[in-house]
Chains A and B, each alone.
Chain A
Amino acid sequence: DVKVTQSSRYLVKRTGEKVFLECVQDMDHENMFWYRQDPGLGLRLIYFSYDVKMKEKGDIPEGYSVSREKKERFSLILESASTNQTSMYLCASGTGGVDEKLFFGSGTQLSVL
């Protein structure tokens, strides 16, 4: 079975802390994505990666960075967490190409106090 694993289901951090969200997929997918999901706003793309060490900004990259050192792992980093980064973060991986379908992790609910 296809699997995308996010390291934490719930996280509580303080303003100014550095936060790491980890995502691992076991499907050998080229593409990986980080989204945040807020009520009424749907899924908004933060960053995506289409290959190891490659990254592209999404719609809302400010305040975030990413790392993809290995194909199966895509990390989202909040250098200095702020309260407006309280959100549900979803990682996804996809096959790419014509039949692109995304497989999502279970999400990390991050609260920044």
Chain B
Amino acid sequence: EDKVVQSPLSLVVHEGDTVTLNCSYEVTNFRSLLWYKQEKKAPTFLFMLTSSGIEKKSGRLSSILDKKELFSILNITATQTGDSAIYLCAVVDSNYQLIWGAGTKLIIKP
């Protein structure tokens, strides 16, 4: 059965810290991996990763995919309280179905 596992499930850090969120997957026909950020409302798209080793970057956020070891990481540097959210990882399979992880709840303390 296809699955996506995120770790940790929750994380509390202080403002200014750097965090690394993990997403591992076992999906039979992998097409791409997506990261979303969910604050109080709708999840919003962060990154789509399809190739190993190519870092995607947006401001203080970056992400990379390892298709050999079947995982991705999402890094956030110099965290701010506005980074507090649930971070969701999903894998898209060859039928364009999404398999979601349970999410990592990140809390940034001032």
Contacts and interface: CB of A to CB of B under 8 A. Distances in A.
Interface of A: 4, 35, 40-45, 90, 96-107
B48 interface: yes
Contacts of A102: 34, 36, 43, 45, 98
B96 A100 contact: yes
Contacts of B6: 42
Given A40-B9, A42-B100, 10 more contacts: A35-B100, A40-B102, A42-B88, A45-B97, A90-B42, A98-B31, A100-B92, A105-B42, A106-B42, A107-B42
Name B's interface SS.
Answer: strand
Nearest to A33: B98
A104 B43 contact: yes
B35 to A, nearest CB: 11
Contact of B96 (A4, A97, A105): A97
Interface residues of B, number: 22
A35 B36 CA distance: 15
Contact of B41 (A44, A96, A106): A106
A44 B100 contact: yes
A43 B42 contact: no
Interface string B40-55: 0111110010000000
Contacts of A41: 102
Contacts of A40: 9, 102
Contacts of B96: 96-97, 100
A50 to B, nearest CB: 9
Interface in B1-45: 6, 9, 31-32, 34, 36, 41-45
A57 to B, nearest CB: 12
Nearest to A44: B100
Nearest to B90: A43
B102 A42 contact: yes
Contacts of B36: 102
